[in-house]
Amino acid sequence: MIISPLQRTELLELVNDALGTLYANDLYLIENQVHERSIVFRFCYYLQPLLQGNGYTHYNLDVEYNKNHLDIKRTTNFLHGTYPDVILHQRGSNQHNLLLIEFKPWWDPDTQRDIRKIKDFTNPNDQYRYALGISVLFGRDRRNVDLTLIQNGEVVQ
């Protein structure tokens, strides 16, 4: 799936807005090294209404979605299966895979595996072809959050 630079900017703004709300409301989770899944849930809790309010009503926001139709998700580097932390897509199809996000907390900062996974999922020659992938490294505070953007199987930032 291909997105315009304007849509990419809009999605990044929505992700950043959700991160801002997460840090404003749930910093306790990050400061106290609560499990990544708990933090990601809260992030999606804030992202969902932003997406709905900006016209993404025909997309599904899912956490740890592990299926590709009736099979598990497999990629070139993850032949035995893998699943993204968060995806914005239309269930039951690989034609409308819009956004994929992987998260790491500051106390476990190795994002290399996540970036390899995002490259696979955004590869235009693979079956998933997500339009945009983002690796998010949670910082101890909002100023220290690190985002890596990936499109067409390559890091763009």
Domain ranges for the chain = 5-155
Q: What integer is the mean pLDDT of 109-116?
A: 96
pLDDT at 157 exceeding the cut of 80: no
Q: What integer is the mean pLDDT of 46-69?
A: 96
Q: What integer is the mean pLDDT of 27-45?
A: 97
Say if CB 44 and CB 88 are below 8 A apart.
Answer: no
The CATH class of 5-155 is alpha beta
- Give the phi and the psi of residue 88 in degrees, each rounded to 5: -115, 115
d(CA 44, CA 62): 8
Confidence of residue 35 (pLDDT cuts 50, 70, 90): very high
Instruction: Write down the pLDDT at residue 1.
Output: 82
Q: Please report the DSSP string for 27-40 in residue order.
A: HHHHHTT--HHHHH
